[in-house]
Structure 1
Amino acid sequence: MASRSLFLTLGRRCSHGRFVHSYYQSPALVKSANLSRFLTSGALRSDFVEENPNSSESDDLRNRIFRLRLPKRSATNVLQRWVSEGNQITMSELREITKELRKSQRYKHALEMTEWMVTHEEYELSESDYAARIDLMTKVFGIDAAERYFEGLSLAAKTSETYTALLHSYAGAKLTEKAEELFLRMKDSNLSFDALAYNEMMTLYMSVGQVEKVPLVVEELKRQKVAPDIFTYNLWVSSCAATLNIDEVRRILDEMRHDAGSNESWVRYSNLSKIYVTVGHLDNADSNSPVEAEKRTTQREWITYDFLIILYAGLGSKDKLDQIWKSLRRTKQKMIGRNYLSIISSYLMLGHMEEVGEVIDQWQQSTTTDVDVHACEKLMDAFADIGLPEVANNLNMILIQKNLNPGSN
């Protein structure tokens, strides 16, 4: 189901990428013989050639690489030809192209770029380079290949970044036991880890339904005196809300507001979360009941998605809001008023009035329920209570335009 992949976005804030997609899923590719051939081959088969250059494009290395439309074509061949023509390739250039390839989900070509770094001694790999290779190994050849690569690294290369990259791979594949074993190794390694590693474990537990383990990870984070980030708080709040521990949700939100690292995004998230708890009827929700008859998405999961929406509203990321809301609407489950209120309040906070109107229209047209005008009125009161009367007024004006004025009902 489209919405289930949303859990995988919760804990990310770096370049590793969460969505696992590969051009190659054949088991043959993960066999050690194929892996060895790929990693030791400096070049290259003659049938792996780039497409003919387009005269309208500048003939630089990046464009040559991106003209390789098919994964089977060899980026290594392009690099070697570029050098044979008397050109230089800088480390920064390799990294920038690799980054773009990863964003474009061209993982096989990106891995070939990093392999060029490895096989040429003039380039010195950083911690981030090794971490990127672990992520790319996972996507191209699978978890086993990434695991073998990590274990084969020198002790100096087994850093917090490479450990976290492998943990990310385990979490993405929902390999709970392997992730927990690696997490123990990380704690015994005497390395310093930031909140990202803990977020990976929290995301994993959320994705496999073991929400009761999330607070235990937070306890460990605090024992190690690691500063939580906004993703940490979102996962923590979501886990408590999913088990309807609303008092704990409120306590966490208060802690957020007093956190030394809090900023505008944190405050916005905290305010929206408080509004959601106030007007979302969480106290009356049944965490074990299905949203609708199909019985595949529980109330607990819907609550988690709502807090994911609130998180990206806090971060000011409208693109993410649009993406998540579109994905949720494509599911076969019918949403309830609380879900509409979370996205409406988020768009309101970011000042996107047109989108608010569109969501209200969707709510009116839904077969789940008519627009709960009184809930909208509570939402306006909640915005006023946190010192944002203009936001409350914006919602009121939209309701009036749609003949849904609370005062007339």
Structure 2
Amino acid sequence: MAIRSLITNHLRNNSYCHKLQFEARNLFKSLSPISKASTKYKYIHSSSSSSRLETEILRLKSPSRVLQDWINNGNKVKLSQLNLICKQLLKSKRYKQALEILQWMENQNNFRITPGHHALMMELIVKVHGLNKAGEYFERIPGSGSKKAASLPLLHGYVKERDISKAESFMIKLSSSGLLVTPHPYNEMMKLYMALSQYEKVPLVIAEMKRNKLCRNVLSYNLWMGAFGEVFEVAKAEMVYKEMVIDENVEVGWSTLASLANVYIKAGFVDKALLVLKDAEMKLSTNGRLGYFFLITLYSSLKNKEGVLRLWEASKAVGGRIPCADYMCVISCLVKVGDLVAAEQVFAEWETNCFKYDIRVSNVLLGAYVRNGLMGKAESFHLHTVERGGCPNYKTWEILMEGWVKSQKMDKAIDAMKKGFSVLKVERCDWRPSHSILMAIAEHFEKHGNFEDANHYIKAVHGLGVATLPLYKLFLRMYLSAQRPAWDILKMMEKDRIELDDETSALVALNS
């Protein structure tokens, strides 16, 4: 389910992301000096000069200062230089520096600033300075064309933050300004309503599009259909599909058929889902992998191992290397349909072909062994991955920790926990171990009176923000029984704003 959710989100954002990627690739091609005669920044042909400017900016320096110094020293600036530098900055996620270059260009009054430029500027301002600054920038953008282009990244920002009030207000502003001329803003609003489970609002968006005589695109229909699927209104979802079939402006592809199949799966209409999935397979091409793996996840939801394996083999016709994420997807789906042997075979195939040992792939199979109670196999598999060059991450240790707790091998569980905590000091992640596992380890410390490890444990759990009232209560009892002061525990409880029940209040009073 988690994998299908990730791919669904990818599909929902597909048109928006592709639009921004296209703008990023072609921005500087579309920017040109207002006139060659009027600009002092003439084109030059010195590759060494271009390389020096790029090197200066990429050394984590302020781009605007470097550019100004460059000009003051009698050098020239050409668009291809800025194009290359900005691409490098975006590739390395140095959005602030990329934005600074674009702002420098905008302030020179020597370049024609296109709508695509304003759209990319808006995207970067949202990333670097936040939505408030982005909203202020939008008000300063001249021309309806540029405002229209910049409106989508800003609206997407509101949707991403799930700020329904600002998103709806912004849509009203765009409508009154005559800037709602494509389906993209409406699709963003439907994504927002879907994310907030306000499914009843999605048909209202479609109705507004029809009133404004705006064509729906594939994503519009998929979201509309999906909204009915979420509330199990299968007949209405089928009505949407039939309307799409006769719409000459769109073509029914695998994504729409997959959306319809998902509606059937949620409603329990297995036979209908399988028929639609067969049709969806006929729409796949060898130009991309996404469709294959979306259908694979749907087949796994139906416990249809044959469909999973068929699509996996068919996906190999797509050119290029198979990414780790696709191996993770198919291994997870084979685990889901209960075929560990096939999952192991796919893993062995990945292991044979991989250039770099990605521990996330082996974690999928490791988790399957643990969930099936195969701790001996899990332990030997873990040792194998380490020998092959895999570097365990926090998830690896979490999986092993849970397995050892369930197997009552608490010493091994605590060892895995300690190694996991050491990894967390380096990795930035949002670790959320289950409450039952956290309590089991705490109860082990209480049973054996292991105060030193217990103290490190509660501090680490508190630092992760996952400490709960039952956990704190256990440690208060532990410290009270040993007649030790629990001031640190009480401070952590206060910081976590833990609401006390009667039993905890009594323990706090006894520890005071």
Q: Tell me which interval the TM-score lies in, with the shorter structure as reference length.
A: 0.5 to 0.7
CA distance in 1, matches of 2:52, 2:306: 40
CA distance in 1, matches of 2:98, 2:216: 31
Amino acid of the residue matched to residue 257 of structure 1? V
Matches within 5 A, 1:174-323: 174-263=162-251, 266-276=252-262, 280=265, 282-283=267-268, 317-318=288-289
C-alpha displacement of 1:106: 2.4
CA distance in 1, matches of 2:136, 2:110: 25
Amino acid of the residue matched to residue 352 of structure 1? S
CA distance in 1, matches of 2:181, 2:306: 34
Alignment correspondent of 1:76: 64
C-alpha displacement of 1:171: 1.1
CA distance in 1, matches of 2:214, 2:171: 15
Change (3 A) 1:7 1:268: closer
Mean alpha-carbon deviation: is it higher for 224-233 or for 135-144? Answer: 224-233
Equivalent residue of 2:214, what SS? coil
C-alpha displacement of 1:158: 6.0
Indicate which of 102, 114, 125 corresponds to 2:113.
125
Indicate which of 87, 107, 114 corresponds to 2:76.
87
Ranges in structure 1 where 5+ consecutive residues have no aligned partner: 18-57, 286-305, 329-334, 372-409
Alignment correspondent of 2:473: none
Amino acid of the residue matched to residue 153 of structure 1? I
CA distance in 2, matches of 1:315, 1:182: 40
Higher relative contact order (CA closer than 8 Å, sequence separation 6+): 1
In the alignment, structure 1 residue 348 sits paired with structure 2 residue 324: no
CA distance in 2, matches of 1:275, 1:15: 27
Change (3 A) 1:358 1:178: closer
Q: Is the 8 A contact 1:272 1:345 kept in 2?
A: no
Q: Is the 8 A contact 1:240 1:249 kept in 2?
A: yes
Aligned pair count reads 293
Q: Is the 8 A contact 1:138 1:146 kept in 2?
A: yes
Change (3 A) 1:343 1:253: farther
Equivalent residue of 2:20, what SS? coil
CA distance in 2, matches of 1:119, 1:5: 40
* RMSD after superposition: 4.4
C-alpha displacement of 1:251: 1.8
Alignment correspondent of 1:365: 335
CA distance in 2, matches of 1:344, 1:81: 62
In the alignment, structure 1 residue 338 sits paired with structure 2 residue 301: yes
CA distance in 2, matches of 1:320, 1:243: 25
Q: Is the 8 A contact 2:284 2:292 kept in 1?
A: yes
Change (3 A) 1:181 1:7: farther
Q: Is the 8 A contact 1:281 1:338 kept in 2?
A: no
Equivalent residue of 1:261, what SS? coil
Larger Rg: 2
C-alpha displacement of 1:200: 1.0
C-alpha displacement of 1:108: 0.9
Equivalent residue of 2:106, what SS? helix
Instruction: Give the structure with the larger helix fraction.
Output: 2
Equivalent residue of 1:159, what SS? helix
Q: Is the 8 A contact 1:194 1:226 kept in 2?
A: yes
Amino acid of the residue matched to residue 267 of structure 1? G
Q: Is the 8 A contact 2:89 2:97 kept in 1?
A: yes
C-alpha displacement of 1:268: 3.3
